[in-house]
Structure 1
Amino acid sequence: MANLPKLLSGFTVLPVSYAHSTHIIYARAHTSAKSKNSAFPVDRTLFLVNVPVDATDREISLFFKHCGTVERVVYDRDALDEEQAGDETEDSGDEDEEAESSMDVDASEKNEGQPRKKRKGQKDAKEKPVAPTVVPLPTVPLRTLRKTGNNAHLIFLDASSLAKALAPPPKPRLWPSSEEPKGLARYAALYDSRRPPLDAVKAHADSSMDLFEFELAKSKQQSAYRKGEAIIDEDGFTLVTRGGAYGQTLGGGVGVANKRFQATGRTGSRKKKEPKEKETFYAFQKAEKQRKAVMDLKKNFEADKARIEKLKESRRFKPY
């Protein structure tokens, strides 16, 4: 480590000391071609390369604590793009909510003073069943492992902290430790988290089945008309409407004939076709059919043979 350069291709070399090894992080000031990009302030952002694969935000913040307060840490550029996309969707969602709320206010002002009509069989909002909640499985907070050579953007709270972070250190600094398991302890904790106790699994499975049955009953109630099931009101009566020659229930099912149809007296009698027995259904029937075909061939052969002999005898010319 004595021959380690302080600068390399414009990057400041920051050696990190572990218990049994040394890791190298390369840092430089962030430069952006877009001046209007406020996500990464140029005067407060430090660009890091070769960040440890198991590094956390807290550990990186503590490592650069002597330079100043760290505002946030962003890993890779894709994470930032996702943040910006999320902010845009949130802004658009807020605008939609404001528009909907204004529409609701206008509608409420228009309908103010007019009592709302309640449909037959409609229940109050308080009587709606509440969906059951799923009991989650126990989890263990584990650090995220990233690819080797991962980069990150470190944003300081003050611009003066950037110059302190780019100053080459006189000796390797110790990497801060955290309470989260790392190394072999992380994989042991991951192994234990994927094998929760039986009572926790049972509670999670039971609550999931309750939610599934609730959603199934809800969807079945909404699609009762399309599936042809009769709709029963709160008093226990099947709702029936008249249409065409037959009266029909709202959900389908058994129809009730109206007076006009009953007066005609049509019974709709149709002759049922008698079932035809298959000749070769059983094995013995197939064998009998084949035997009969062979006997018919022999019989036709003997008849043709006798006819040919009769034609020979009837010929008048006999040379010998």
Structure 2
Amino acid sequence: MAPSKKKHASNQACVIPGGFTVLPVQFNSDSVAQHKLYVKEHKVRSDRSSHRPMDRTLFVLNIPPYCSEDVAKQMFSQFGSVQSVELMDHPGTSPQDSGPKLSKIFRPAAKQGFKVGYVVFENSSSIAAAKSHPHNVALVVCTEKCLVKTGTQKWIQQYTESFIRTDNLQKIVDSFMEGYDKRKKEEEEKQKEEAKQQQEDEEGWVKVTRGTKARPHSEAANKKTLQAVIRKNKRKELMNFYTWQHRNTQKEHIAELRKKFEEDKQKIALLRVQRKFKPY
């Protein structure tokens, strides 16, 4: 796409195709080089998470690696009070939403690269202020209030922070295990309640007692009924598989009865001849 020939005024925002507003960023006040951020109001309907309200969330692209969540929060605070900042490798739902929140100690090492971010403001007016920011006024990353370390100083800081005190680690582990035990207990109680509500026999009938109403089948109940049907069909298949054996056994039994009947007839005839047969 060819660039637009129309020049922006010095006090106007620069908007590019896709609805993104360009925000220039420089590392410190003495830097000559600038970096570009692309921001847009977060309006994804599929993402209905409570921590990303659509009217107060700003979606940010091309965040440099030296910008942490604290640095981004300080940088965007000039548009208004920032509630939270979330940095990710790719847009989408945070992986922490599907499970318990883990401490940074147990998280995998973060990838070094450009990030996407979700900046949540406390007021919706901050979104308009960020989108109308003049394109010739750069946001400063490293200030006196927020010092950003790079190079060797950053490596030394990361190495120092990698050592964890034993008592702090023990507190984190105990807190996680308490939450795990609580979740397991809640799951067991829920399963017991479902089992109590759905008392079924092997045929899938629900036992209804006085003062209670028949409840619809749950997923666990349907699964149990399906297993009972499968077992019943297997028994039928086994009987059908050995049907020829049953038939042969019955034929042999009938032949044996007939043979015994003929023998008894001969004995009776012999007794009659000898006049020893007295049926009454």
- Please give the TM-score of this superposition, normalised by the length of structure 2: 0.43
Which one scores higher on RCO, CA 8 angstroms, separation ≥ 6? 1
| The structure with more radius of gyration | 1
Q: Which is richer in helix?
A: 2
